[in-house]
Amino acid sequence: MDKIRFLTRNTLRGSVALGAFCLMLGGGVASLSDSYFPGAAWAQQSGSGQGGQGGQGGQGSQGGQGNQGGSGAGQGGPDPDSDSKGPQAGGPANPSGGGRPVWAQEGIPEIELGRLSVVRSPDQVLNRSLEEALATWTDDMAAFYSLPLDSTDPDTTTILTELSLNWDNLTIYDSPLQNLALMQDILADGDSQLPVNSDTDTLLAVFLGVASDKTLPVTTDTVIAVTTILGYPILGDDAEDLAEDAEAVRVAVLAGHG
C-alpha cells in the first residue's frame, strides 16, 4: 500500500510539472511568432485584429521632383488568409477572395513592377495621393497634359517630344502614387478630374509611363497587373494598345531624363 501511495504522489507531481512546462511552452511559442514573423503587423486586417501604426508609402524620383508616399494602415496581428508578403499587404480587398487584397489573388501576371509596386497601397493612400495631385495642379501642367501624345507632323509639339527634349523645363506629376491615383480616377468612371483638353487614353498612357521605372519596359502584362490591382482591369487589345503608348512615354522619359 505504501508503494502504491509513493507511485501515486510521484505521478501527480509529474503531471503538474508537465502541465507547467506546457504552459511555459505555449507562452514561448507566442513570443517566437512575434520574433520570427515581424511582417505580421502588415498582414491583411482580420475582424479581431487591433490597429497598429502603419509604414510609409513608396517613394520614387525620376527628376528633380521628390515623391512622397502616404502612410499605410498597419495591423495588430496576422490574418489567417494573409500570404505573408510583408509591407505590401493591406491593399484593396477582394470580397470574393476571403478578404485578401486583389494583388494576392490568382490570375494577375507575375512580373516585376518596380516603382509601380506602390499600386498595392491601401485605398486611403491612393485617395490621399489623388487629393494631393488635384491640389497641386498648375497652368503649366494643364498646357503639358493637353498636348497630343504624338503626331506625324514634325512641327507639332507633343507629349513625347516634350518629355524627351524639354524634360528639365516641365512641371508634371512624377510621383508613382499620384500617377497611379490619377489612373484609378479615370478607370473608375471613364473621366478625369483634371481640367485638360486631352483624351483619357492619352492621359492613362502618360500616367502609367511616367510612374514606371525608366529602365523597366511597360508590357501588356504590366497593364493587366496594374489595372487589375487598381480594381478596373484592362485586358486584351485595349491592354496591348495602352502598353504600347505607355512604353513610348517611358522611353521618352528615359531620353529626356538621361
pLDDT in tens, 56-105: 444 444 444 444 433 444 334 444 443 333 333 333 444 444 555 554 55
Nearest to residue 177, comparing CAs of 211, 131, 217? 211
- Amino acid (one-letter) located at 147: L
Quick one: pLDDT band at residue 214, thresholds 50, 70, 90?
Answer: very high
How much is the pLDDT for 106?
A: 59
- ∠ CA 242-133-178, rounded to 5°: 45
What mean pLDDT is predicted for residues 32-42? 32
Spans of all domains in the chain: 97-257
Quick one: pLDDT band at residue 109, thresholds 50, 70, 90?
Answer: confident
Long-range pairs of 85-89 with CB within 8 A, sequence gap ≥ 24: 85/39, 86/39, 86/42, 87/39, 87/42, 87/55, 88/42, 88/117, 88/120, 89/39, 89/42, 89/43, 89/44
Quick one: pLDDT band at residue 6, thresholds 50, 70, 90?
Answer: very low
pTM for the whole thing?
Answer: 0.62
DSSP conformation letters of 232-247: ----HHHHHHHHHHHH
Long-range pairs of 30-34 with CB within 8 A, sequence gap ≥ 24: none
Q: Does residue 258 have a pLDDT over 90?
A: no
How much is the pLDDT for 87?
A: 34
Name 74's bridge partners.
52
pLDDT in tens, 119-164: 999 999 999 999 999 999 999 999 999 999 999 999 999 999 999 9
Compute the residue count for the chain. Answer: 258
CB-CB contact of 249 with 208 (8 Å): yes
CB-CB contact of 67 with 174 (8 Å): yes
Q: Taking the alpha carbons of 182, 188, 190, 195 in that order, is the dihedral positive or negative? A: negative
Name 75's bridge partners.
51
